[in-house]
Structure 1
Amino acid sequence: MLNKFNDAFTRFTDHPDFGRLLLRLTFGVLVIFHGIAKVNHGVDWISSILESKGLPGFIAYGVFIGEIIAPLLIIVGWFTRPAALIYAFNILVATLLVGTDKIFSITKVGAWGLENEALFFLGALCIMFLGAGRYRLPFKNN
C-alpha cells in the first residue's frame, strides 16, 4: 500500500523543470529585494567597510551585478549558470565582510548565525549545477 502511494505521489510530483523554475524564482526574487535596498539607500556603507579592510571602495558597486543583474538573469533563465556563480560569489563576499562574527553563533531560536547566508549561497550553487531547465524565456544561445 505504501509503495502504491509512493509511486502515485512520485508520478504526480515528478516535474524537475518546474522545480528548477521554482528554485530560480525563489532565490532570484529574494536577492533582488537586497539589491533594491541598495539602489534606494546607496552603497556608501559597503564602500566604508571595503576601505576599512584595505580594499578600494568603488568595488562596492559590484553589488548591483550580484544583487540585481545576476538574479534577473537567473529568474528569466539566461546565462543561468554563470549568473548563479556571480550570485554565490556576491553572497560569499558579503558574508566575509559583515558576517564572520556569526560563524560560531546560534540565534535565540536555535538557528545558525549564518543560516540565511548559507541558504542563499548553497541555493545559488544548486542553481549553478542544475541550470535553468526548460521553463525560461527563449534566447538564441540558451
Structure 2
Amino acid sequence: MNVGTLYTVTYNKKSSISGLKVLWSGNAQELGVPYGCSRWYFTFNDNECSNPGKIESIKFNVYYEALNEVVYFNNPFTVQGTCQGISAGDVTVTLKVGLCGLNYVGQETLTSWGTKTSLMIEETFHG
C-alpha cells in the first residue's frame, strides 16, 4: 500500500485537559523505487496533531546492489508521540501511510509483514 489507512481505533478520552499518547510498533519496508520516501503518521478525528506538532516517522531508502540484485530491508519501526488539545469524548485515532511530499517518489510499502504489531493509546496529563 502506498497511501491509506492501516489501523483505526475509537478511544474514549475522559478529560479535555489531557493529551493522547500514541505508540505503534512493528516493522516497515519499502519496495520498488530507489531514493523513494514513505511516511507513517497518526490522525485524530481525521486531522493531524497541531499541538505540539505532527506525529510521524519516515523511511527514506537508498537501495544497494549486491550480486546484481536489489536488497530490501525490513526493519523494526515505531511511530510515537503525544497530542494535546483534543476534546473529551470519542476520538478516532488512525495510523496511516502516505507520501513524504517535496518531490520524493512514493513506494510500495509493507507494514508489519510477518511479525507482531502493537498499538498503544493512553491518556496523559502534563503539569
- Decide which structure has greater helix share: 1
Q: Which structure has the bigger radius of gyration? A: 1
How does the TM-score come out when normalised to structure 1? 0.21
Bigger relative CO (Cα 8 Å, ≥ 6 apart):
2
- Decide which structure has greater strand share: 2
How does the TM-score come out when normalised to structure 2? 0.23
